[in-house]
Amino acid sequence: MKILVAIKRVIDANVKVRVKADGTGVETANVKMAMNPFCEIAVEEAVRLKEKGVATEIVVVSAGPTQTQETLRTALALGADRAIHVEEAAELEPLAIAKLLKAVVEREQPQVVLLGKQSVDADNNQTGQMLAGLLGWPQGTFLSKVGVNGGEVEVVREIDGGLETLKLKLPAVLTTDLRLNEPRFASLPNIMKAKQKPLAKLTVAELGVNVAPRVKTLKVEAPAGRKAGIKVGSVQELVDKLRNEAKVI
């Protein structure tokens, strides 16, 4: 079984982002970039499925500027077999990415497409669901467990009230939640080996997708700051403040 894993390069999740003074976006120059944490989990799950003998080949794909290749190399170092880079300098919306992925799926014919449930920059949580819709495939979103069994995959989803188990007919689109697995670190020999693995380049035009944005960002601003609080010296003082000052208990 072939697995396609879609990954995204984002600002490192531990960086406190700064909004640009002109309100056009957040500062990305000289900011540490990394693979989106949910995408790391997707790569790890694919590698585990290969180690179990379920998957035979892992193809990792990402759309974005030239530097995206670093993120793809990271995935190769973690165990993916080959990479596809769809080069596009402009920022892409989930619908455009889903359409690009659909075109890649049609070329590659994977049985499973794995994605993270959301990217930590745009926080959309859309691409996997959109791809499943466009392909007419079933979707398993927010997964904390994946079990492939013949022509089916049994998935456990994290839902608001707890957990839900579904059976999906393959081929299917799966998106990962944080608790699906603990991603491994790439070892130095694997990082070296990853440099030799194939990385194919495609363009948006070759895939025949119109990626013109549909949603215009008018402005980006910092959220309203909270006014500085105080430290209280005792529980009695805290209760008094909550009761008489904040009036919340």
Q: 1, 2, 19, 69: which one contacts other proteins (CB under 8 A)? A: 19
Asked if residue 36 binds other proteins (CB under 8 A), the reply is no
Minimum CB separation of residue 11 from other proteins in Å reads: 7
Length of the chain: 249
Please say whether the beta carbons of 163 and 144 come within 8 A.
yes
Minimum CB separation of residue 37 from other proteins in Å reads: 9
Minimum CB separation of residue 193 from other proteins in Å reads: 31
User: Residue 230: phi, psi to the nearest 5?
Assistant: -125, 160
Cα–Cα distance, 38 to 178 (Å, whole number): 7
Element (H, E) at 112: strand 112-116
Assigned token pair, 191: 């990082």
Q: 125, 190, 191, 197: which one contacts other proteins (CB under 8 A)? A: 125
Asked if residue 31 binds other proteins (CB under 8 A), the reply is no
Q: Which of residues 56-115 bind other proteins (CB under 8 A)?
A: 93-96, 98
Assigned token pair, 144: 């904390």
Where helices occur in 53-126 by DSSP H, the ranges are: 68-78, 94-108
Pick the closest to residue 5 from 112, 116, 114 (CA basis): 114
Q: 79, 110, 138, 183: which one contacts other proteins (CB under 8 A)? A: 138
Assigned token pair, 241: 């403040």
Size of the site for other proteins (CB under 8 A): 80
Assigned token pair, 220: 């980006």
Minimum CB separation of residue 63 from other proteins in Å reads: 15
Piece of 49-57, 64-72, 193-201, 241-249 that binds other proteins (CB under 8 A) = 241-249
Asked if residue 127 binds other proteins (CB under 8 A), the reply is yes
Asked if residue 229 binds other proteins (CB under 8 A), the reply is yes
Asked if residue 214 binds other proteins (CB under 8 A), the reply is yes
Q: Which of residues 158-187 bind other proteins (CB under 8 A)?
A: 158-169, 177-179
Residue number with CB closer to other proteins (29 or 188): 29
Asked if residue 26 binds other proteins (CB under 8 A), the reply is yes
For CA atoms 84, 89, 94, 97, the dihedral sign is negative
Asked if residue 134 binds other proteins (CB under 8 A), the reply is yes
Half-sphere exposure of 6 (CA within 13 A, CB side): 32
